Structure 1
Amino acid sequence: MKDVHAGFVSRWLQLAAIAMLLLCAGGAQAGFDLKDRPLAGIEREFGYFKAADGTPLAYVVYRPEGAGPLPTIAWYDVYGAGSMPPLGMVRAWVARGYAFVAASVRGTGCSDGDYVPFGAQDARDGAVFVDWAGSQAWSNGKIGLVGNSQPGIVQFGIAALHPTHLVAIAPGGTISRIYADGWYLGGIYNASFAAHWSRYDQPGASLKFAQLRAGLGDKDCEARVARIGPNSLVARVRAQPYDGEYYQRYSPYDRAPDVTVPTLMVQSWTDPAVGSSALNVFARLTAKSKRLFVLSGGHDSYLDSTAQEEVGRWMDHWLKGDDNGVDGEPRVRIDFGTTPTAAANYGDVVPVHATATQALADWPAPETKWQSWFMTAGGALQDKPANGEAAGTREYFYPAGTELPGDAVQFAMTALDWGSLRYRTPPVAHDTAIFGAPEVVLYAASEQVNTDFMVNLHDVSPSGDVTFIQRGYLRASRRAVDSSRSTAQYVFHPHLKDEPLQAGHVYRFDFSLLPVVYILRAGHSLELLLAAPSPIPSPGWGLTPLMLPGFNTVYHDSTHPSLLKIPVVPGIKAQGPEPQCGSLPFQPCRHENGSTS
């Protein structure tokens, strides 16, 4: 399993393949000579377009030699796309008959101006970029936005502004709420993620790619390279510990209702960098034509061949008018058992094979049924509220126990028994398709005025293999729920203020785990682990827990029915042989004795 650091994947670590820039297309550029070798059949042009306020923003466009005007694919990011977008994708789109244009967000790469991380200006400039590209001689005026991670997230903001030339979008590797699913998971500061992205991921890639473009002879860019450094994200996030306009104006969750262009979302539900919260966005899209492709894998699963073929078909239909049937297919495609191979070069499309595919009419699936598993004082999960001997309380000492699902080595270290609680179902009689966001209801008390909860969900096999499925978090003082914005699939916490606990008082805590797309096989059990979050990145998230040590007590009886609710789609069975322990991407596995495969 590959190592993933905090942030939207450490892009600058992929720069060992920078030499590939020397193989990209040649072409004239007004203002400077390009000092590299051309790639036969592809023209390239570097330049700058003007934002609405006159700020010059860097772009690069690739197109088939001598062709035009063409439908145009656009990529817009903070990592240096205006210098070098993912070249494997460039080649694939040009071969498909498109122009491919990429631009850098203001203040990043070779673009002028000041960079405000996840600021509203990104979308405004992006809308100008789309309409500028659509008016160029090499474009036929039809623009499709593509991109993974930040260049996927920003698509929602751009599309919500309705630029004239935008025809379709295909965001991948995105997130739902920038605050609650990114920098403050469940209200808990995701410090490692923010710090690494602010200091290393974004500025590292931005600098390296800008240096490459400057080295090709761009004197304007050369002058801008010196000012690239750590961005202001950490300072901004620290200064704004509650949800609000700064986070909401960039959040796909908030922007989705204003997106009306055809939208294809691509999301790995095991994404180790941003999680699976983006699946909560799909239902909020108002676009009449929308599709969702869900797979398992890493943060760069957008580059998987299966994902790119879906994106290609989507754009062929909406930008070229191909009658390929994509708009008449089921809205949701789920791939299981994806086994990617390593990419030869940075940005190459990765050959992938899936062991099974499942279609759904929508997400969430209309046929979803909810199963309730009630916690007991004996550590069981059962199908009715605890009573009699099963009723009572359990306690654990916070924050002594935690679990790190970053990789097999981390996961082998089990949470301390006295610093955590485990609850387990009996073996299930039938394959159980858990499609959606499980919900936890805890009736609990703390010795302190505040505490943090982390819930991890496991699959326990008959032989004792324990596989990580998913996780969720909540700070107790952020327990307030906005019922008007909550759905069956998502408990909405507004995160507008802290409400301290009264020591020893029993409170109800409701919160959703991140969405799951997993089939629990017959004979396996579900296990819930309740523990403390950890600041150690696992693999990218490292949440700063409250240092308020004390005993937390969980109640289990008819008056305090603590429970786990799981969304189940009936009639779906696991396909193929059972995967070996540790073989699933970003789902580490251990044996119950603590060893790993």
Structure 2
Amino acid sequence: MSDTIEPLLAVPAYRQIVIPLSDGVRLAARLWLPDGDTRVPLVLEWIPYRQSDNTAVGDSMIHGFFAAHGMAAMRIDLRGSGNSTGLLQDEYLAREQDDAVEVIAWIAAQPWCNGNVGMIGISWGGFAALQIAARRPPALKAIITCCSTDDRYADDVHFMGGALLTDGLQWGSGLFTQLGRPLDPAHVGEGWRDLWLQRLEGMEPPLGRWLAHMERDDFWRHGSVCENYDDIQCAVYAVGGWTDGYSDAILRLMANLNVPRKGLIGPWTHIYPNWGTPGPAIDFLGVCQRFWRQWLLGEETGIMDEPMLDLWQGEHLRSEPSSLTLDGQWITAPGWPVASPSRDFYLADGRLSDLPPPPVPASASMNAPTHTPTSSLVIDTPMHCGLMAGEWCPLDGGGNAPEFQDDQRQDDGLSVCFDTPVLNEPLILCGKAGLEVDIAFDTPSAMVILRLNEVAADGRSARITFGIHRLVRPDVPAGQAFRVVLPLKGVAYRFSPGCRVRLALSTTYWPMAWAEPGQGPVTLFPHGAVFRLPSRAPDVLDRAGPFGAARSAPALDHDILAREVTSRQVQWDAASGTHRLTMDAKRQQTRIGELSFDGEGHESYDIGATPESARWEAVRMQRYTRPGWHIELRSETTLAWKDSALILTSRYEARENQQVVFERRWEQQFAARINGKNT
């Protein structure tokens, strides 16, 4: 399993190029070509994040590495982003995929290319790799997809278990700000301003599109490769981290694809593993290089002879908002799913018991008069339960903000909890846990949040995994019980002797899950409930050796003019009963040549005693400056309930050299989905 790739050679200089599309749009790209006349494959990264400045430093370290090892590499800005012409109006549009298919054919036809292309990407780029692979461009032979999903509705930043995620609101306001970023006159020339103004005039708030589709429909099915896994016919390497929001997609891809495939889930959040946070980081680029040489050059590197799935098995998790490293070890699975026995626990008087309860008398039922009050319990958590959750996808915008979970004791105290006795021996899990239980509620819909926690001897509680579920009452009378199976996110973890396992249940999880009217208390019937934990299967083994230390090419010359400064604060107004979470960030200021760029953001989340009190505000700014040229962009976004409707207010302002060149305000209204079905 060792990395057999030769040491880093000289990194070739990149060149800026323009790729013409058939409709007249011109895509800006940065190309690294190895020295020499040999025809080589190309590794493509396809994202809208400005290869000439915002991602230039990281791009140089990744793509320079590939080029130094005999691969061509390219970073392209999507149409309407960076220095590319055209309009970018939303994520993952069919037009974007059409462009990529055309670009891949253009690359394969270049005299320096051997006709083989691979795609690598994280987040948007990881989504794009999957979606474009499903289009089957002939030259695309392999993809490495990081921190992405196969299901844009069920398991993306927008929704989890049908519940609206506020990480999606953050992302929507961030993308809104990015849509109006200017073309750079140093690269584009005199026509940059007219093209920029066209870009600004063509903008719409992406959140408005997303909130118009609160249920699974064709809008979300587009770009969801789970609709037909067999559309993908090239080799796939799916990569992510347990701390990231997208780890479950890797397990589904391993289970459902019918192509050569590998998976890797580390301890990390939303970041390439060579920079992996929380650590340890690994030699991810060396791993990629073995995969590329296997599928783009036809060399037998041995990578496909190794176990399909590498997993980080955590232990001793510390619930700290700014965790830098996590304890654990690497394990491997030969495939997925693995046949693993479940460790079953039963709910009894606040305990997780190994012993099943005695059978219910035949004369009794969930709704019979003989069903005693002690055999049910009501879960009705305060609206502010969840303030210690951290982010659904921590650090998805980069930086070092305190976005991981905090000590879970506060949220546990607001929840209904069931604990095991103190463990006398390790409990090792690998897979997906789930609760099978009878519940009832009177409202059209309800929320149930499950957290699997490890409680240390000193009382500290750390969330190991969780699940969020917005449930719609089936065709039964209000208050009548029905059976549900509520899964949690996948996990590989070793619970330590001396600790306790805790199942914490709540009906709110603010602010991670947006509060919606029409939701209320949930009655749970513990008798007959089973909490199934996935024991580590016998064929899941300790990895034969560690991954090597992280490597990359040298970074592009740049200066850091100011480091990032962030804060995350929780406040309680005793007079109004309102809890407020505020997050502030002044982003790192970077200079490349004469151009400097930075940004800042402010967010607040307010909640009172009812779902209708939920309110979110975001203000974001981005700046680009060189002598004689200063661009400042500002977006303001709010979301709140009014008369059972969601009101989204968006405002955008663009300035050139302190003068306002564009300003617009939008107000959009969306009906509450009181009776909506998630599907």
Q: TM-score, normalised by structure 1?
A: 0.74
Q: Judge conservation of contact 1:532–1:545 (CA < 8 Å) in 2.
A: no
Q: What's 1:415 paired with?
A: 411
Q: What's 1:489 paired with?
A: none
Q: Which stretch of the first structure deviates more once superposed, 175-184 or 80-89?
A: 80-89
Distance verdict in 2 for CA 1:135–1:446, change over 3 Å: same
Distance verdict in 2 for CA 1:195–1:228, change over 3 Å: farther
Partners of 2:128 and 2:373 in 1: how far apart? 49
User: Which letter maps to 2:32?
Assistant: Y
Q: Judge conservation of contact 1:167–1:261 (CA < 8 Å) in 2.
A: yes
Partners of 2:373 and 2:289 in 1: how far apart? 55
SS for the counterpart of 1:562 is: strand
User: Which letter maps to 2:304?
Assistant: D
- 1:198, CA displacement in angstroms? 2.1
User: Which letter maps to 2:161?
Assistant: G
SS for the counterpart of 1:48 is: strand
Q: What's 1:545 paired with?
A: 515
Q: Which of 7, 14, 30 is the aligned partner of 1:60?
A: 30
Q: Which of 297, 302, 315 is the aligned partner of 2:268?
A: 297
Partners of 1:562 and 1:126 in 2: how far apart? 49
Q: Which stretch of the first structure deviates more once superposed, 517-526 or 292-301?
A: 517-526
SS for the counterpart of 1:216 is: helix
Partners of 2:464 and 2:456 in 1: how far apart? 13
Q: Which of 46, 61, 73 is the aligned partner of 1:100?
A: 73
Distance verdict in 2 for CA 1:119–1:467, change over 3 Å: same
Distance verdict in 2 for CA 1:530–1:105, change over 3 Å: same
Q: Which stretch of the first structure deviates more once superposed, 174-183 or 226-235?
A: 226-235
Matched, 1:562 2:537: no
SS for the counterpart of 2:103 is: helix
Matched, 1:382 2:366: no
Partners of 2:294 and 2:107 in 1: how far apart? 20
Q: Which of 122, 132, 152 is the aligned partner of 1:148?
A: 122
Q: What's 1:250 paired with?
A: 223
Aligned residues: 490
- Which structure's residues are more often helix, by fraction? 1
Partners of 1:235 and 1:439 in 2: how far apart? 34
- 1:326, CA displacement in angstroms? 0.9
- Which structure's residues are more often strand, by fraction? 2
Q: What's 1:270 paired with?
A: 243
Distance verdict in 2 for CA 1:386–1:123, change over 3 Å: farther
User: Which letter maps to 2:129?
Assistant: Q
Q: Judge conservation of contact 1:207–1:225 (CA < 8 Å) in 2.
A: yes
Q: Judge conservation of contact 1:373–1:563 (CA < 8 Å) in 2.
A: yes
Matched, 1:464 2:459: yes
Map 1:77-116; keep pairs closer than 5 Å.
77-81=47-51, 84=55, 86-115=59-88, 116=90
Q: Judge conservation of contact 1:80–1:104 (CA < 8 Å) in 2.
A: yes
Q: What's 1:534 paired with?
A: 509
Q: Which of 304, 308, 329 is the aligned partner of 1:331?
A: 308
Cα-to-partner distance string for 1:274-300 (whole Å, 9 max, x where unaligned): 45444222211111x111111011210
- 1:452, CA displacement in angstroms? 0.9
SS for the counterpart of 2:33 is: strand
Q: Which stretch of the first structure deviates more once superposed, 137-146 or 354-363?
A: 354-363
Q: Judge conservation of contact 1:395–1:551 (CA < 8 Å) in 2.
A: yes
Q: Judge conservation of contact 1:179–1:247 (CA < 8 Å) in 2.
A: yes
- 1:429, CA displacement in angstroms? 4.8
User: Which letter maps to 2:505?
Assistant: L
Q: What's 1:133 paired with?
A: 107
Q: What's 1:435 paired with?
A: 430
SS for the counterpart of 1:114 is: coil
Q: TM-score, normalised by structure 2?
A: 0.66
- 1:181, CA displacement in angstroms? 1.4
Gaps of 5+ in 1: 1-39, 340-350, 480-498, 537-541, 576-597
Cα-to-partner distance string for 1:528-568 (whole Å, 9 max, x where unaligned): 111133342xxxxx3212244643221022xxx22222222
Q: Judge conservation of contact 1:451–1:546 (CA < 8 Å) in 2.
A: no
Q: Which of 499, 515, 519 is the aligned partner of 2:490?
A: 515
Q: What's 1:9 paired with?
A: none
Q: What's 2:145 paired with?
A: 171
Which of the pair has the greater relative contact order for Cα pairs under 8 Å at 6+ separation?
Answer: 1
- 1:383, CA displacement in angstroms? 4.1
User: Which letter maps to 1:554?
Assistant: L
- 1:222, CA displacement in angstroms? 5.2
Q: What's 1:392 paired with?
A: 375
Q: What's 1:184 paired with?
A: 159
Cα-to-partner distance string for 1:143-178 (whole Å, 9 max, x where unaligned): 111111110111111111111111111111112311
Partners of 2:231 and 2:412 in 1: how far apart? 47
- 1:313, CA displacement in angstroms? 1.1
Q: What's 1:592 paired with?
A: none
- 1:65, CA displacement in angstroms? 4.3
User: Which letter maps to 1:422?
Assistant: C
Matched, 1:283 2:255: yes
Partners of 2:35 and 2:325 in 1: how far apart? 30
Q: Which of 278, 285, 296 is the aligned partner of 1:319?
A: 296
Q: Judge conservation of contact 2:313–2:494 (CA < 8 Å) in 1.
A: no
Map 1:26-45; keep pairs closer than 5 Å.
42-45=12-15
User: Which letter maps to 1:59?
Assistant: A
User: Which letter maps to 1:78?
Assistant: P
Cα-to-partner distance string for 1:218-246 (whole Å, 9 max, x where unaligned): 45555433455665431111111111222
Partners of 1:62 and 1:294 in 2: how far apart? 29
Distance verdict in 2 for CA 1:501–1:530, change over 3 Å: farther
Q: Which of 170, 173, 194 is the aligned partner of 1:196?
A: 170
Q: Judge conservation of contact 2:12–2:68 (CA < 8 Å) in 1.
A: no
Partners of 1:88 and 1:76 in 2: how far apart? 16
Matched, 1:234 2:204: no
- 1:247, CA displacement in angstroms? 1.1
Q: Which runs of 4+ in 1 moved over 6 A?
A: 351-354, 388-391, 572-575
Distance verdict in 2 for CA 1:512–1:152, change over 3 Å: same
Partners of 2:337 and 2:499 in 1: how far apart? 24
Partners of 2:542 and 2:340 in 1: how far apart? 17
Aligned-pair Cα RMSD in Å: 3.3
User: Which letter maps to 2:377?
Assistant: R
Q: Judge conservation of contact 1:258–1:286 (CA < 8 Å) in 2.
A: no
Q: What's 1:503 paired with?
A: 478
User: Which letter maps to 2:130?
Assistant: F
Partners of 1:169 and 1:338 in 2: how far apart? 31
Partners of 2:285 and 2:327 in 1: how far apart? 14
Q: Judge conservation of contact 1:176–1:279 (CA < 8 Å) in 2.
A: no
- 1:44, CA displacement in angstroms? 3.0
Gaps of 5+ in 2: 1-9, 276-281, 317-323, 361-371, 391-402, 544-679
Q: Which stretch of the first structure deviates more once superposed, 156-165 or 527-536?
A: 527-536
Which of structures 1 and 2 has the bigger CA Rg? 2
Q: Judge conservation of contact 1:70–1:99 (CA < 8 Å) in 2.
A: yes
